Amino acid sequence: MPKILIILDGIGDLPCKELNNKTPLEAAKTKNLDFFAKNGCQGYVYPVSQKVAPESDVGVTALLGYDPYKYYTGRGPLEAVGAGLTLPIQSIALRANFATLINQILVDRRAGRTLTTKEAKELAEEINKKVKLTHEFTFKATIGHRGILLIKGQFSNNVSNVDPAYKKEGSFGIAKEEYETKMPECKPLDSKKLTKDTAEIINEFVKQSNKILTNHPINRKRIKNNLLPANFITLRDAGIELPKFPKKSNWAAVVGMPLEKGIAKLSGITILPFEYPEAKRDIKKQTKKSLKLEIKNSLKYIKKVEFKNYYIHIKQTDIPGHDGDPIQKKELIEYLDKKFFKKLRKIKDLEIVVTGDHSTPCKLKSHSKDPVPLLWFGKEKDNTERFTEKESKKGSLGALLGKDVLNKVNF
Ligand code: ZN
Ligand code: ZN
């Protein structure tokens, strides 16, 4: 009997006025998720703690059963591993975004979400060619506006993010509901020389890359076409070592993004091959297309039953939350219900757990501390009827921390 952990990225939400004060989960018609809710049991999860609005990295780490306070070493190295970069023993890795800076104001943290993978790869090539640092580095564009910076050498990870949306707290990146938009800068968070040198080389990269990107023909063309230029690299979540997760066995994952790939790989989970399509201009079309592919592959692999446990990560549900689009979030949930959960109902002897790595409320356009609903369709049953934020609070599983979920459901 395969057991499946389904993480719907950023699924938790708050009531939205566009949906008559319902959350997207409440407003969506979800016959099949309702079936699993009626025949299973529910609870609700604080992925990291009641006080933390987590990033996906810590949320997922916790849901896979690892205490983030014990194991987490920063997002950069996780993304680097997921993108296939080998991390030298002495190095620093940071998560990057192509963003838009106009008059020293960070106008858009994702360059309008319109950067194609092709454009990003070309811009990255130029950065690798023309930025000159005192240490060897690699800048890699991954999917859409996302990327990774890896610098070889001995560094400190105790430096601030060059990204105002996430605050650095220890090695955690904490999502901020509101943030300043003036050009961010990397600051040393202690007085050691190594930390100061680290901040300096990061700022040097940011400055030089900004100049190169601003003058690049791709960005001139983007401006001409009324698109935001991808002229600034934000950097966050510096890490200088890999987490030492105890390894899982007989687990497989269907994951498309470098971050989730990195976490799965370091957890000993077999990554089943499939790639998200390259990012094109239209983000809505893109989201639907990648979701379709994720569903198709997930079903194909689950049906083979080659592993005891599967981890399926649905990234797409997070995007409309960041973009403040509850209608799209509701539609994606309905699509998942019809194309994925309906088909799961037909597979015999299946056990599933459905939850999220954090909430991304549309009205906040950012991650929040709000708990996420948890549904377990397996051995127990309670009186809940729908998979929603409110209903899950009435469930028999009660409140849980992310790290305790897998234990609770015997995965
Ligand atoms: Zn997430
Ligand atoms: Zn997110």
> What is the CATH classification number for the domain harbouring 300?
3.40.720.10
Which residue among 184, 206, 239 closes a domain? 239
Q: Which long-range contacts (CB under 8 A, 24 or more apart) does 123-129 make?
A: 123/98, 123/213, 123/216, 123/218, 123/219, 123/230, 126/212, 126/213, 126/216, 127/209, 127/212, 127/213, 127/233
Q: Of the bound ligands, which one is closest to the alpha carbon of residue 366?
A: 2
Domain co-membership, 60 together with 89: no
Domain co-membership, 39 together with 116: no
Domain co-membership, 136 together with 221: yes
Instruction: Dig out the tokens for 403 from the structure.
Output: 């790290």
- 198, 156 Cβ separation under 8 angstroms: yes
How much distance in Å is there from the Cα of 317 to the middle of ligand 1?
9
How much distance in Å is there from the Cα of 365 to the middle of ligand 2?
9
C-alpha 63/C-alpha 218 separation (Å) is 40
Write the Ramachandran bin of 113: left for phi over 0, alpha for psi from -120 to 50, otherwise beta.
left
Please give the share of the chain, as a percent, with pLDDT higher than 90: 89
Instruction: Dig out the tokens for 275 from the structure.
Output: 């790639």
- CA-CA distances (angstroms) from residue 393 to 44, 51, 99, 399? 6, 18, 38, 8
How much distance in Å is there from the Cα of 328 to the middle of ligand 1?
17
How much distance in Å is there from the Cα of 130 to the middle of ligand 2?
31
Q: Of the bound ligands, which one is closest to the alpha carbon of residue 58?
A: 1
Instruction: Dig out the tokens for 286 from the structure.
Output: 């893109």
C-alpha 196/C-alpha 34 separation (Å) is 54
Domain co-membership, 113 together with 64: no
How much distance in Å is there from the Cα of 266 to the middle of ligand 1?
18
Q: Of the bound ligands, which one is closest to the alpha carbon of residue 110?
A: 2
How much distance in Å is there from the Cα of 221 to the middle of ligand 2?
29
Q: Of the bound ligands, which one is closest to the alpha carbon of residue 97?
A: 2
Q: Of the bound ligands, which one is closest to the alpha carbon of residue 263?
A: 1
Quickly state the pLDDT bin for 214 (edges 50, 70, 90). very high
Q: Of the bound ligands, which one is closest to the alpha carbon of residue 361?
A: 2
Report helix, strand or coil for 321: helix
pLDDT tens, residue by residue, 22-34: 999 999 999 999 9
Q: Of the bound ligands, which one is closest to the alpha carbon of residue 9?
A: 1
Strands 166-169 and 172-175: antiparallel
Of 15, 384, 89, 385, residue with least CA distance to 397? 384
- Say whether pLDDT at 176 is over 90: no
How much distance in Å is there from the Cα of 194 to the middle of ligand 1?
32
pLDDT, position 205: 98
How much distance in Å is there from the Cα of 83 to the middle of ligand 2?
18
Domain co-membership, 154 together with 53: no
C-alpha 211/C-alpha 121 separation (Å) is 17
Domain co-membership, 106 together with 176: yes
Residue 110: partners with Cβ closer than 8 Å, 6 or more residues away: 97, 98, 99, 144, 145
CB burial string 214-224: b at 16+ within 10 A, e below = eebebbeebee
Domain co-membership, 170 together with 253: no
Q: Of the bound ligands, which one is closest to the alpha carbon of residue 259?
A: 1
Q: Of the bound ligands, which one is closest to the alpha carbon of residue 257?
A: 1
Q: pTM of the entire structure?
A: 0.93
How much distance in Å is there from the Cα of 205 to the middle of ligand 2?
25
How much distance in Å is there from the Cα of 143 to the middle of ligand 2?
14
By the CB criterion, residues less than 5 angstroms from ion ligand 2 are 10, 318
Domain co-membership, 20 together with 86: no
Alpha helices in 188-316 (DSSP H): 193-214, 217-224, 258-266, 283-304
Backbone angles phi, psi at 6, to 5 degrees: -110, 115
Domain co-membership, 149 together with 168: yes
Quickly state the pLDDT bin for 178 (edges 50, 70, 90). confident
Domain co-membership, 361 together with 212: no
- Say whether pLDDT at 94 is over 90: yes
- Say whether pLDDT at 227 is over 90: yes
Packing angle of the helix pair 117-130, 193-214 (nearest 10 deg) = 120
Question: What string of DSSP letters covers 8-22?
Answer: ETTBB---BGGGTTB
CB burial string 344-365: b at 16+ within 10 A, e below = beeeeebbbbbbbbbbbbbebe
- 272, 252 Cβ separation under 8 angstroms: yes
Q: Of the bound ligands, which one is closest to the alpha carbon of residue 260?
A: 1
- 401, 45 Cβ separation under 8 angstroms: yes
Domain co-membership, 42 together with 22: yes
Domain co-membership, 192 together with 311: no
Angle at 314 between CA 321 and CA 55, to 5 degrees: 55
pLDDT tens, residue by residue, 353-394: 999 999 999 999 999 999 999 999 998 999 999 999 999 999
pLDDT, position 270: 97
How much distance in Å is there from the Cα of 224 to the middle of ligand 1?
33
pLDDT mean across residues, the chain: 95
pLDDT, position 285: 87
Q: Of the bound ligands, which one is closest to the alpha carbon of residue 319?
A: 2
pLDDT, position 91: 96
Which residue among 210, 239, 268 closes a domain? 239
If residue 50 lies in a helix (H) or strand (E), which one and from where to where?
Answer: none
Domain around 165? 80-239
Which residue among 223, 239, 255 closes a domain? 239
Residue 243: partners with Cβ closer than 8 Å, 6 or more residues away: 61, 66, 71, 72, 73, 77, 78, 266
pLDDT, position 174: 85
How much distance in Å is there from the Cα of 171 to the middle of ligand 2?
18
By the CB criterion, residues less than 5 angstroms from ion ligand 1 are 9-10, 56, 318, 357
Q: Of the bound ligands, which one is closest to the alpha carbon of residue 47?
A: 1
- 292, 300 Cβ separation under 8 angstroms: no
pLDDT, position 89: 87
- Select the more confidently predicted residue: 329 or 286: 329
pLDDT, position 387: 98
How much distance in Å is there from the Cα of 172 to the middle of ligand 1?
14
In the chain, the number of structural domains is: 2
Quickly state the pLDDT bin for 145 (edges 50, 70, 90). very high
